């Protein structure tokens, strides 16, 4: 959610609906589902939002949609600049890769 511009575009929701500080959310997955629920894309709603009475917390293609977003639109460098935990994780991964070379 830290790359709110591309996420808003992907979900087709107003950018103002994306939480400004996603790291403080109690349940980021629930927030993502709620964003998908507000989407102007029917396919996103169908895939990411659980069906009524299904007893699930996410829709049937929730993970597939997030993978699609990450592969096609997500800008990790922008997200890391807005998310301290992501920045730390990226830094650790870079160190591991450099040490392996």
pLDDT tens digits, 1-42: 999 999 999 999 999 999 989 999 999 999 999 999 999 999
pLDDT of residue 8: 98
- Inform me whether the pLDDT recorded for 101 exceeds 90: no
Confidence of residue 44 (pLDDT cuts 50, 70, 90): very high
How many CB atoms are located within 10 Å of the residue 32 CB? 23
Does residue 32 contact residue 10 with C-beta atoms inside 8 Å?
Answer: no
pLDDT tens digits, 52-99: 998 999 999 999 999 999 999 999 999 999 999 999 999 999 999 999
């Amino acid at each position: 959610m830290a790359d709110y511009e591309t996420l808003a575009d992907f979900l087709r929701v107003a950018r103002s609906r994306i939480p400004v500080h996603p790291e403080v959310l109690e349940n980021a997955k629930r927030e993502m589902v709620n964003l998908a629920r507000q989407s102007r894309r029917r396919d996103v709603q169908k895939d990411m939002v659980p069906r009524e009475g299904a007893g699930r917390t996410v829709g049937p293609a929730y993970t597939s949609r997030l993978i699609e977003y990450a592969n096609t639109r997500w800008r990790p460098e922008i997200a890391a600049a807005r998310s301290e935990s992501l920045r730390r994780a990226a830094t650790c991964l870079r160190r591991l890769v450099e040490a392996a070379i």
